[in-house]
Structure 1
Amino acid sequence: MQETIHYITRELKDLYPPGEIRQFVRLILHALRGYSLTEMIVKSGELFSAGERSRVSNIVARLKMQEPIQHILEQTLFHGLDLKVNPAVLIPRPETEELVDWIIREYSHPPLRILDIGTGSGCIALALKKAFNTPLTEACDISEKALTLAQENASENHLDIRFFKADILQWEKCTQWNSYDLIVSNPPYVTLKEKKLMPANVTDFEPWSALFVPDEEPLLFYRHIAAFANRHLQNNGSLFLEINEKAGSEIRELLMQNGFNTPEIRNDMQGKPRMVKAVRNY
C-alpha cells in the first residue's frame, strides 16, 4: 500500500497541494478497500493486486485532467456517511461538514422538524438525520436528478428522509411545506464574476445552477430563503446557512429585516466567515 501512496503523491505533486493529495489517497483507498483512516495506517504494509494498481493508475490519469476525485470514484465521504455523487450535484465539502457540526453542537435536544433547502446529494439532511434521528426530516431541490441521487443515498444509508421537488425562488407556489424547528441551506452564492477565480475542476465539472448567482443579485437565494423561513419557522426556530465569505454583513442585515434576532456569523477552519445562524422570535 505504501508503494501505491508514493505513486499517487509522486504523480500529482506538481498539480495539487499536499493536503489535497492526502485527501485523494484517503478517498482512493477507502473506495478500493473500504478502509478507514486508522485501518490505512494499521494495514499500510499490505500489497495491492494488479487490478487495484491498474485502477489507481486510471484514477491518477483522470486526476491529471482535473476531473474531481469524487466524480471519478462516484462516491465521497461526508460526516461519516458514504455518499454517491455525480455531475448533477455539488460535491459535498469540508466547510459544509463544519456547518453540520455547528448545528449538532447547538442542540442539547434534537429538533422535531428539519428542512434542508437545495439538498443536492442529500448530505446535510442525511448527516442531521443520522445525528438527531428527527421524527420529520425533509429536503427539497429543484433538480429531479439531484432528488433521485439523494433518495439513493438515503436508502443506502438506511435513513428516512422525505424528499420533494420545490423551487425556493417560487416557494409560495409550493404546497408541500410544513412548519419547522430547523431550516438549513447551502444555496448558490458565487457570483459569475468570481468564476474566473475558481479552479477548473469545479467550474468544468460541477453544476452551475448549484454554484452561481447573477452579479447584480448576489443575495438572490438568501432573500427568498429568509422570507420563507420567516413564514415557516416555529417560534425560536433556527435558520443555518452557508454563505459567501464576502457577504456576511449584507446577509446579517437581510435576516434582521426578515424578523431574525442578531444573526451570528462564524468562521470556518480557514478563518473565513462562511456560516450564519439566526433565530426567529415572534
Structure 2
Amino acid sequence: MEVAQEDIQALIQDKYDGDQNADIADDVARLAAGEPLAYVIGWLPFLELKINLDSRPLIPRPETEWWTEALIERIGNEPLRVLDLCAGSGAIGLSVLKYCPNARVSFGELIPEHAALVEKNLVENQLDASRASIRAGDLFEAFAGEQFDIIATNPPYIPDTRELGEEVTEFEPPEALFAGPDGLAIIERVVAEAREYLAPLGSIWIECDIDNIERAQELLLAGGAERAELHNDPYGRPRLVVGYYP
C-alpha cells in the first residue's frame, strides 16, 4: 500500500526528532505493509502524555481520550481512589495521575508485559509513583478486599464476527479487541463483580461498542446501579456508559 506523505513526516518528526536525513526505509516498509503508524513510531500522545507502545497494547483511540477528559473533570482535586481496569498502556489512569493531584490510581492489566509498560510510562512521564499501584491479573483478581470510588475501563468489546481493517486485525492484540459473539463477554464479568469493588456512591465508566452499549446499560441496572447514563462520543455515537451505585 502507498504510504501517505503526512505519515512519513510524522515518522521523521516523532521518531527521529525531525532529522530529514534519517534512514527510514525499514519503517516505511512497515507502514507500507499496513502496520499502524503509532507502533512504527513507538509511542503516541494522549492528553499531553507520551504513551509508549513497546509491548504493543491496544493503541489508545481519540474516543477514549475524549471520555478520559470527562473523567478528569469529574475527579478534579478530590482524593478519590480510581481503578484503571484492562489498563493496556495505562493511558487512562496515567492521565488521571497527571491532572488530578489528589487521586490515587491503581492499574489492573491481564498481560504482565503491558503492566510493565504502564510502569515505564509512569516513570518517563515523571508522574507521582507514590499515588500509583500497578498489578497484573485477570480483571479484579489482584484487588481482593479493596474498594474504589471510580472504576474506569476500556475493555475488549467488539463482537467476534465484526470485520475490521487489516491494520487492526493483523497488528493489534485480538484479546484487547474481541469479546465473544455479542462483544459483552468481558463487560458482563466486570459488571457482575463491580459492586464488590466499588465504595459507597461509587461509579463505573465503561467504553462500549455502539451495538451493545444499551445492553451494557441494562446489565449495570440489573447489577445494582441506581442509574446508568449513556454518553455520545465526539462523532455522535453512543460510546460510554456510566453506572452510579448507592
**Alignment-derived partner of residue 163 in structure 1:** 134
Query: Which one-letter code corresponds to 1:182 in the other structure?
Result: I
Q: Deviations over 1:46-81 (max 9, x none)?
A: xx5422xx32x5433321110111111111111111
Deviation at 1:188, TM superposition (A): 0.4
Counterpart secondary structure, 1:226 = helix
Q: 1:177 to 1:90 in 2, by over 3 A?
A: farther
The two structures, once aligned, show a CA RMSD in angstroms of 2.1
**Alignment-derived partner of residue 17 in structure 1:** none
Deviation at 1:26, TM superposition (A): 4.4
**Alignment-derived partner of residue 16 in structure 1:** none
**Alignment-derived partner of residue 241 in structure 1:** 206
Query: Which one-letter code corresponds to 2:176 in the other structure?
Result: A
**Which protein is bigger by CA-based radius of gyration?**
1
2:24 counterpart of 1:33:
no
Alpha-carbon distance in 1 for matches of 2:142, 2:74:
30
Alpha-carbon distance in 2 for matches of 1:243, 1:81:
24
Counterpart secondary structure, 2:203 = strand
**Alignment-derived partner of residue 232 in structure 2:** 267
Q: 1:257 to 1:111 in 2, by over 3 A?
A: farther
Q: 1:105 to 1:23 in 2, by over 3 A?
A: farther
Report percent identity of matched pairs.
Answer: 29
Query: Which one-letter code corresponds to 1:30 in the other structure?
Result: D
Could you state the TM-score of these two structures normalised by the residue count of structure 1? 0.79
2:94 counterpart of 1:126:
yes
Contact (CA 8 Å) 1:88, 1:145: kept in 2 or not?
A: no
**Corresponding residue to 1:229 among 179, 194, 215:** 194
Alignment of 1:171-186 (within 5 A): 171=140, 174-176=142-144, 178-186=146-154
Counterpart secondary structure, 2:73 = helix
Q: Deviations over 1:143-187 (max 9, x none)?
A: 11111111111111122221011212xx4x545452111110000
Deviation at 1:253, TM superposition (A): 0.7
- Structure 1's consecutive aligned runs of 4 or more residues displaced over 6 angstroms after TM superposition are none
- Give the number of equivalent residue pairs: 242
**Alignment-derived partner of residue 80 in structure 1:** 48
Alpha-carbon distance in 1 for matches of 2:200, 2:11:
42
**Alignment-derived partner of residue 7 in structure 1:** none
Alpha-carbon distance in 2 for matches of 1:138, 1:177:
14
Contact (CA 8 Å) 1:186, 1:243: kept in 2 or not?
A: yes
Alpha-carbon distance in 2 for matches of 1:268, 1:22:
26
Query: Which one-letter code corresponds to 2:217 in the other structure?
Result: R
Counterpart secondary structure, 1:192 = coil
Counterpart secondary structure, 1:139 = strand
Alpha-carbon distance in 2 for matches of 1:272, 1:123:
22
More helix by share: 1
Contact (CA 8 Å) 1:243, 1:276: kept in 2 or not?
A: yes
Alpha-carbon distance in 1 for matches of 2:8, 2:69:
23
Contact (CA 8 Å) 1:117, 1:140: kept in 2 or not?
A: yes
Q: 1:92 to 1:25 in 2, by over 3 A?
A: farther
Query: Which one-letter code corresponds to 1:110 in the other structure?
Result: E
Unaligned 5+ residue runs, structure 1?
A: 1-10, 14-20, 35-47
Counterpart secondary structure, 1:255 = helix
Unaligned 5+ residue runs, structure 2?
A: none
**Alignment-derived partner of residue 27 in structure 2:** 59
Alpha-carbon distance in 1 for matches of 2:242, 2:32:
39
Counterpart secondary structure, 2:161 = helix
Query: Which one-letter code corresponds to 2:188 in the other structure?
Result: R
